[in-house]
Amino acid sequence: MSKGHDWKKLATESQVVAAGRPEKKPDGALNPAIALNSTFHEGGPIGYGRYGNEAWSALEEAISVLEGGKTLIFSSGMAAISSVYSLLPQGAIIVAAENGYQGTTTMLKKMHEAKKLEVRFVNLPNTDEVLKALPGAQMLYLESPTNPAIEVVDLPVVIAAGKKAGSIVVVDSTLATPMVQNPLALGADIALHSVTKYLSGHSDILLGCVVTNDESIFERVEQARRYGGAIPGPFEAWIALRGLRTFALRMQRSQENAMELAKRLEKDPRVLKVRYPGLASDPYHERAKSFMKGFGAMISFEVKADIAQIDKMCNSSTLITNATSLGGVESIWERRRRWATESHTIPENLIRFSVGIENVDDLWSDIQSCFLAAKIN
Ligand SMILES: Cc1ncc(COP(=O)(O)O)c(C=O)c1O
C-alpha cells in the first residue's frame, strides 16, 4: 500500500490523508476500489471475501499508522470486542469496568452468568480497586475515558500492573481516539475502537477494529474474524476510510467546542455538575494531563431538574440531536438512564453530550432554548 512515508515523522493530520492509498502509477486510482466480490481467482493472497479485500486493507493500514500497531477491522465495535474475549479459555478471570459502555458490561454480565468467563467488575478509575482485583486475571479490560461518566483511568499505572500480573491488557480507546492517546505506546497489548464513532465520524456506518503489535494475538484475532465471520462489507470499510481523511480536523474542532461548552455549562446555575477532563475543576484533570494529548470531545453533565424535564430538554433541541451514539460531526445528546441496561452508578439526571463540529455559539443558543422549553430555571 502507501509507500515512501516515514509515518512516525508525520503528524496525525498528514497521516490520515496519506495512509491507505493504492500504489502510485500512471492513471492509478487515488482511492482503493470497493471490491464487491465474495470470491477471487485462485492463487492470490486473499482467496475469499471473508478473508480480506482491498478496501479493508486500506482502512486497516490507515488505522495501523494512527495507533502504531497492526489492525483488523470488524463489522462493529461489539464484534471487535467479542473477538478479543474469544482469546480467553472457558472460565478465565477477567477484570473489567462495572460502569463502562453498557453494551460491553451487559455482554460481560451474560458471559459471567453463563460461567463462560469469571468477571471481576471494578470501578476502573479507582486504581487501588483495579490493582487488588488483578491477581490471577488472564485479561485486564480497560476503557478510558469511561462511557458515559467520562472518567479517566490511570492507564500508565494499571497497564503496567496488568502486564506484571501476566494479564492480556486491552484498552477500549473509542472515546479518546488516537488524537488523544495511543494505548499500545502506553504498554497495552490491544487497543480497540468502535470505528462507528470518531474514526469514521458521520453516523452512517457501524464498524470496529482491534489493533495490536503481538503477532500471536493478531493471528488469533484474525482467526476469530475469519471463522467467526464478523466481517464488515467492503463498502462500509471504504466509507470509514473516507470519513477518516478528515478525522484530525473534526476532532480538533470538536475538542475546542467541548472545552468551551464545558466551561459555559460549569458556570450555569441550572447545572449541578459537569464532567469533562479538560476542566481544571474535574477530578481527573491532572491525571488526564499526565498522559493524554488532549481531552476528547465528550461531556457529561447533571441537570438540576426532574427526569421529565430533562427528557423534555433533550427532546427540545433543534441543532443537537437527541439520540444514542457519539463521535459524529453532528452534536448528539441523551439522558443515559433512559436505557434499562445503563449502570445504576450513573445518575438519572446525567446527559451525555457528544460535541460535534457546529458553531459553538449556535450550540450554546440551542442549549439555552432547551432549558427554557423544559422550564428549567
Ligand atoms: C466505548 C464504546 N465501545 C464500544 C462500543 C460498541 O460499538 P458499536 O456500536 O460500533 O458496536 C460503543 C458504542 O457506543 C462504545 O461507546
Closest CA to 308 of 365, 375, 369, 224: 375
- In-domain check, residue 99: yes
pLDDT computed for residue 149 by the predictor: 97
- Regarding the beta carbon of 232 and ligand 1, being less than 6 Å apart is answered no
**77 and 135 belong to one structural domain:** yes
On the question of pLDDT at 16 being above 90, the answer is yes
**201 and 287 belong to one structural domain:** no
On the question of pLDDT at 1 being above 70, the answer is no
* Residue 307 amino acid letter: I
- Last-in-domain residue among 211, 244, 277: 244
Tell me what the pLDDT averaged over the chain comes to: 97
pLDDT in tens, 95-148: 999 999 999 999 999 999 999 999 999 999 999 999 999 999 999 999 999 999
* Residue 280 amino acid letter: A
**251 and 222 belong to one structural domain:** no
E strands in 181-239: 190-194, 208-212
Alpha-carbon Rg for the chain, nearest whole angstrom, is 21
Range of the domain at 268: 247-373
**194 and 265 belong to one structural domain:** no
CATH number at residue 33: 3.40.640.10
pLDDT computed for residue 2 by the predictor: 75
- Last-in-domain residue among 181, 210, 244: 244
Residue of 81, 101, 192 to test ligand 1 pocket, by largest number of atoms within 8 Å of CB: 101
pLDDT computed for residue 301 by the predictor: 98
Indicate the SS3 state at residue 308: helix
Q: Reading across the β-sheet that carries 321-322, which strands appear in turn?
A: 271-275, 298-303, 350-354, 332-335, 321-322
pLDDT computed for residue 51 by the predictor: 97
Residue of 174, 346, 352 to test ligand 1 pocket, by largest number of atoms within 8 Å of CB: 174
**180 and 281 belong to one structural domain:** no
- In-domain check, residue 2: no
- Last-in-domain residue among 191, 223, 244: 244
pLDDT in tens, 17-27: 999 999 999 99
- In-domain check, residue 1: no
- Regarding the beta carbon of 196 and ligand 1, being less than 6 Å apart is answered yes
**226 and 295 belong to one structural domain:** no
**229 and 284 belong to one structural domain:** no
**303 and 317 belong to one structural domain:** yes
- The three-point CA angle 6-10-15 to 5° equals 95
CA of 149 to the centre of ligand 1 (A): 15
pLDDT in tens, 237-249: 999 999 999 999 9
Is 70 catalytic? The answer is: no
pLDDT in tens, 286-330: 999 999 999 999 999 999 999 999 999 999 999 999 999 999 999
pLDDT in tens, 38-67: 999 999 999 999 999 999 999 999 999 999
CATH number at residue 366: 3.90.1150.10
**214 and 315 belong to one structural domain:** no
- In-domain check, residue 197: yes
Q: Return the percentage of the chain with pLDDT > 90, whole number.
A: 98
- In-domain check, residue 49: yes
- Regarding the beta carbon of 22 and ligand 1, being less than 6 Å apart is answered no
Q: How confident is the model at residue 4 (pLDDT cuts 50, 70, 90)?
A: confident
- Domains in the chain, number: 2
- Regarding the beta carbon of 177 and ligand 1, being less than 6 Å apart is answered no
